[in-house]
Structure 1
Amino acid sequence: MQLTAESIRKSLSKVQDPDLKRDLVTLGMIQGIHIEGKKSEFQSSPHHPGMSTQRSN
């Protein structure tokens, strides 16, 4: 498989946030995918920009 930003997003779409029960890509937590040869890096944010930092029970 060729390493592309899309293939990385597809793989990361299988990783779910344990609290929100939705994948990190759908939540908009993955940005700045950079690929150089066989290496890649990306930035992730702990919270979606529209999310509240407070939790309710």
Structure 2
Amino acid sequence: MFDDYIKKQNTSLDFFKNAAKNLQELNKELKEDNDKYDEQQMEQMYKYYKNGGIVNEH
């Protein structure tokens, strides 16, 4: 009786551990993407101000 309960609890615990791991990986990927976007924005702002506020698409 207790063995079944412990097995179910361990299965549940494993599920939540895997979910936490997957969320950590997703968070890392999102942070990397966000950092790239911020870097692109900073580069665009730098070019904008370097050109005296003129947007140069080329």
TM-score category of the 2 structures, normalised to the smaller one? under 0.3
Higher strand share: 1
Higher helix share: 2
Instruction: Report which of the two structures shows the higher radius of gyration computed on alpha carbons.
Output: 2
Q: Under a length normalisation based on structure 1, what TM-score does the superposition of the two structures give?
A: 0.25
